[in-house]
Amino acid sequence: MALRFEVLGRFNRARAAQLTLPHFVCQTPLFMPVGTQGTIKGLATDQLEEIGCQIILGNTYHLALRPTSELIDELGGLHKFMNWPRALLTDSGGFQMSPVDGKPMLLTPEESIQIQNRIGADIIMALDDVVKTTITGPRIEEAMYRTLRWIDRCIAAHKRPHDQNLFGIVQGGLDPVLRDICVRGLVDRNLPGYAIGGLAGGEDKDSFWRVVAQCTATLPEDKPRYVMGVGYPLDIVVCSALGADMYDCVYPTRTARFGTALVPEGVLKLKHRAMAEDTRPIDPTCACMVCKNYTRAYIHSLVTKDSKGSQLLSFHNLYYMMQLSRNLHSSIVQGKFPEFVCNFLQKMVKCVMV
């Protein structure tokens, strides 16, 4: 097992921990930006270090297509290839379409792990059978049992357990019985870490949070818990309160490309004409280089006609997510988690009420 997970503080189910990986020592809770092909659009790796990014997520399928896992391996692995000294996580490569020709590609558990072994990320994900949570009936049960069968094939195919950590993924839709079977089956395999998958796909928030609460209650206390595809700040705060540790999503950078900034009150739409003469920073309380150096009016002028605007907003939005992660960690360690949550929610609710 190539990781160490040490809980540094707790408040009820919330926990702050130190996650030691082969390439970096991380503090949880943490958010991972998505760099599909080994890059975050518009940002260099030194900027990501400046922001405080600890782990970048790469997509196995896209990397296998271009530049290919063989080339990445030949050039020393993805860390060296993209000049990233900190940790990396690769997803399994499932549930994707080729951006080159749209053709399907057969991806077996063995092939997924072989590709990820070549890429060399600190954390690699088992191939799972993903179905939307809004689907009901036998397909959900079929996917869950297939996911359990595939984890054994992934374990058998994994050739680098000494420096890569294989995480299993809990499936089962919104069915508590199926989720419980999957959790217990994965825990029996004694994996380095566990992910909760198949969420953020159209289900209501109550159902989403219920599944997270159920899974975190059964997953091991001494292993990291990763809720996949979650990027809304409110969801991250709630899931952290429920005992989750890791999150990823394209939301912060995708919303930046639409001219929207993340702020404590929710979002700020920089394309709105009201921003044209606003000389304030995006967020007066933010310490990022964008808020220190540029006005809303300036960024408004960029987002309407220049890619530089989306780059600045991507920097700010990812800084916001990293600061949220740092605040979650420190508030739990310092025993101030309830105050942090109340303050976070008050700002959000005040914005909605106005």
- Binding site per annotation, positions: 91-95, 128, 171, 198, 286, 288, 291, 316
The DSSP result for 48-111, as a single string, is: HHHHT--EEEE-HHHHHHTT-HHHHHHTT-HHHHHT--SEEEE----S---TTT-------HHH
CA 350 vs CA 264, 272, 338: distances in Å? 10, 21, 18
Q: Which two tokens stand for residue 234?
A: 């409110």
d(CA 354, CA 350): 6
Q: Is 25 helix (H, G, I), strand (E, B) or coil?
A: strand
Annotated binding site for Zn(2+): 286, 288, 291, 316
Q: Which two tokens stand for residue 74?
A: 């030949």
* CB proximity list for 353: less than 8 A, separation 6 or greater: none
* CB proximity list for 56: less than 8 A, separation 6 or greater: 32, 33, 34, 35, 40, 48, 84, 86, 87, 88, 89
Q: Which of 73, 91, 175, 283 is catalytic?
A: 91
Task: Read off the DSSP letter of residue 26.
Answer: E
Task: Read off the DSSP letter of residue 168.
Answer: E
Q: Which of 122, 129, 235, 248 is catalytic?
A: 248
Q: Is 46 a catalytic residue?
A: no
Task: Read off the DSSP letter of residue 149.
Answer: H
Q: Is 152 a catalytic residue?
A: no
Q: Which two tokens stand for residue 262?
A: 């993340």
Looking at the annotation, which residues are catalytic? 91, 248
